[in-house]
Structure 1
Amino acid sequence: MKLKATAAFAAALISSPLSYAGTIELSQAFNYNAFIFNDFSGERSDVEGKLAVGGNLTVEDFDVGLLLPQDLSESSLYVGGDLSFSRGKVNGGQTTVSGMVEASYVEFAGAVNSESFVSIEGGSVSSGGINSKGDVSLVDAGIRQGDIDAEGSVFIKSSGLDDGSVTYGNELIVENGNAGTSASVKDTTNIVDVENLDFTTMKNEVIAQSKDFAARDVNGITTLSCGSQTCSESASSPIDTITFSGSDDVNIFSIDSAWFSAADKDIVYDFSTTSINIINVFGKEVELFNTGFFNTAFSQENSYFRENGQYRDNDNNENQRHDGLYTNNILFNFVDATDVTLHAVGVKGSVLAPYAELSFYNGHIDGNLIASSLVTPEVELKNDKDETYLAPTGQVNNYRFGAINVSEPASIVLLFGAGCFMLARRKKTSRDSVNLKRETF
């Protein structure tokens, strides 16, 4: 079966004497590598860029902001509920939490800001200190640079401040610790200001954007192949390839989730690097796994692709990966899905699933991840030695929808946040070695 639409896509025009380009103004949610409306639970993984979670964040053996430059003037982690964090690191910025902070053996690069109780056991705060509208407990942990500013009480045990002072509202208790280089000050009128994201407004914006993408006219061609023939309901062979082809500056595609969820298939991109490509997936349930991603742009070995056109990805020998040129222009919009499962797959493109509980393990996404909630199910896998282990949460790699060079004049200009960037390559940790059918890390 071949899905084809001939209706032309018309972008809204800006009234400007200098440009006739159309605009898609991306929601602020796309400023974050991962933006989850409600709860997020994960383990043994990482989000390479900024992470924003509107509900509770519960993680262990987890890192945030691995590829972010150090900018301690803003946060790289935002949590609208409570933060429960065991073993890991928050790099590149501050941590801002509306609820309680319970952290054990976590390294915070920047300040820890909370509208409630803060408890840090083990680990450290490198710069910026702790700002809490409640109590603060610091046990076997240190603040290398910065103050403790709390409206409630402060308890310090076997730890303390290398530099700075303590300001508290109720009482200060120090057991074999250090309360700073200057005298502690009790101020019962002390007020701590903690400003978090407006998660509700951002959620509403991105839901409206998903609906807008879904309502746009389809002008891309989606070809489904079953063996040597195009697919139909009576095809004898299972689907093995989905090809998305487009020749416009903005290509809109449409596919049913039943076709999209087929196992052991390839997804082939056939469009330019300077185009924007939105793939609308319709259906309540989606499962993407054992899927290889290819591009028709190259057929020979180069820095982006292997010889057969497959995306290069975290090669164990060369420790390199693609720089986003052929990934940042792709968005999978799961329009009405409430249940999305991603596993044993390296998704090449961003994922927008505003209504979905995302079950995400043993894989990764090269792009933005926006969903209602994220869970890591208890799934047992086996390694090369036939040893059983629990699947880790999927990684979110620091690529970004819209971070491309669009030639002028063009029919679209993407506007958002901090603008475009390219990724520096880094040597991946053992968490990247996941059990994928076609991808080799």
Structure 2
Amino acid sequence: MRLSYLCAMAAAIVLTFGLSVDARAANLGAANAFNGFIFGNLTSAGQDTEGRLAVGGNFTASNYGVGSGGIGPAVPITNPRTDVLVVGGDMNAQGGWQVFNGNAVWGTSLTAAPTTPSGVTYQGNPVNFAAAQADLTAKSTAWGALSTNASVVFDGFSTLTLTATSAGLNVFNVSESVWESTSNKQIVNAFPMATLLINILGTNVTQFGGMSYNGSSSPSAAHGGVLFNYPQATVVQTNNIAMLGSVLAPYAALTINGGGINGVGVAASAHQQNGGEFHNFTFTGDIPVVPEPTSLALAGLGLAAIAVKRRRA
């Protein structure tokens, strides 16, 4: 009976383990549905988020807008209406700016509400920020430990060229010092379905200058497979640079000083200034998640039990 129980448990573990690898592969979890996803507080004056925005802490902003599109597409109108702005703490929409094409949701308190001509403003908690933070910090750490398998060329002066070498996952590991010293960041990708994981390794990262994707500096859906990952950073600042891809900085206080993040932006906290914006492009990459040691151990136990059962049969 004990062996039968172990076998049943093993089958469940193996099935769960197999499914979890597929289900967890490669996306930004709950953040995938948003343009900006901040675990803590977000402050801003005069900027916007073109897509959906989720803020786990307090959100204080003036002359703002959410969901209107612009460089990227607007949030579409759905029925029932989409929660376009979700705030877990206090919502303070100074000046009564607008949320486009959907609802605004506040969590613990409401200081000032935005206008919602195509939706409603209500209290709720549709996003589990704690679970999302645990998921994305684990992914960032695991992905940051992957080895380089693509081409990283630094000319020693100002140009860094990152070239994809396969149609699958391309990993680039770049030190903070090299990343910060290059004003000309070139991304080259001849594989439309490839994923480009660019790990920036350092604790206090400032990025500036120009960035291009296949020779173009214009934001577009073409760079949806690019993810800039900052697994060690506690501070990330973008200075007048268009980041052509999504940004994962789960431990960092992110400052967008001019320019913009053209993809999903994930950070511990954030401040937007001088026109720094989130532009609504999605992350379409596929990055396998390294299984947790406990999952591997359980899977091993399950397989061992199955093997014992077969030997006794």
Task: Name which of 189, 201, 213 aligns with 2:143.
Answer: 213
Task: Name which of 83, 102, 105 aligns with 2:91.
Answer: 83
Alignment of 1:46-125 (within 5 A): 46-66=48-68, 67-71=74-78, 72-87=80-95, 88-103=97-112, 106-114=115-123
**In the alignment, is residue 395 of structure 1 matched against residue 291 of structure 2?**
no
Pick 1 or 2: higher relative contact order, CA cutoff 8 A, min separation 6.
2
* Structure 1 counterpart of 2:299: none
Unaligned runs of 5+ in 1: 1-13, 115-193, 226-230, 232-237, 296-308, 314-321, 378-390, 404-411, 416-441
Q: 1:216 to 1:293 in 2, by over 3 A?
A: same
* Structure 1 counterpart of 2:36: 34
Unaligned runs of 5+ in 2: 1-16, 69-73, 290-313
| Residues in 2 aligned to 1:100 and 1:356: alpha-carbon distance in whole angstroms | 25
Per-residue Cα deviation, 1:188-221 (whole angstroms, up to 9, x for no partner): xxxxxx3432111111111111112112232112
Q: Which amino acid aligns with 2:86?
A: Y
Task: Name which of 154, 172, 180 aligns with 1:224.
Answer: 154
Of stretches 342-351 and 101-110 in structure 1, the one that deviates more from structure 2 is 101-110
| Residues in 2 aligned to 1:198 and 1:104: alpha-carbon distance in whole angstroms | 22
Aligned residues: 264
| Residues in 2 aligned to 1:56 and 1:376: alpha-carbon distance in whole angstroms | 14
Per-residue Cα deviation, 1:365-401 (whole angstroms, up to 9, x for no partner): 1100000001246xxxxxxxxxxxxx23x11111011
Q: Which has the larger radius of gyration?
A: 1
Per-residue Cα deviation, 1:151-176 (whole angstroms, up to 9, x for no partner): xxxxxxxxxxxxxxxxxxxxxxxxxx
* Structure 2 counterpart of 1:184: none
Identity of aligned residues (%): 25
Q: 1:336 to 1:108 in 2, by over 3 A?
A: farther
Report if the CA contact (8 A) 2:241-2:259 is conserved.
Answer: yes
| Residues in 2 aligned to 1:285 and 1:244: alpha-carbon distance in whole angstroms | 25
Q: More helix per residue: 1 or 2?
A: 2
What TM-score does the superposition give when structure 1 sets the normalisation length? 0.56
Task: Name which of 336, 344, 361 aligns with 2:232.
Answer: 336
Report if the CA contact (8 A) 2:51-2:66 is conserved.
Answer: yes
Cα distance, 1:242 vs structure 2: 2.9
* Structure 2 counterpart of 1:204: 134
What TM-score does the superposition give when structure 2 sets the normalisation length? 0.77
Q: Which amino acid aligns with 1:95?
A: A
Name the Cα RMSD after superposition. 2.6
Residue 399 of structure 1: SS of its match in structure 2? Answer: coil
Q: 1:105 to 1:209 in 2, by over 3 A?
A: closer
* Structure 2 counterpart of 1:310: 216
Report if the CA contact (8 A) 1:38-1:372 is conserved.
Answer: yes
* Structure 2 counterpart of 1:438: none
| Residues in 2 aligned to 1:294 and 1:50: alpha-carbon distance in whole angstroms | 25
| Residues in 2 aligned to 1:195 and 1:336: alpha-carbon distance in whole angstroms | 29
| Residues in 2 aligned to 1:216 and 1:310: alpha-carbon distance in whole angstroms | 28
Report if the CA contact (8 A) 1:27-1:209 is conserved.
Answer: no
Per-residue Cα deviation, 1:96-151 (whole angstroms, up to 9, x for no partner): 1112223367345311112xxxxxxxxxxxxxxxxxxxxxxxxxxxxxxxxxxxxx
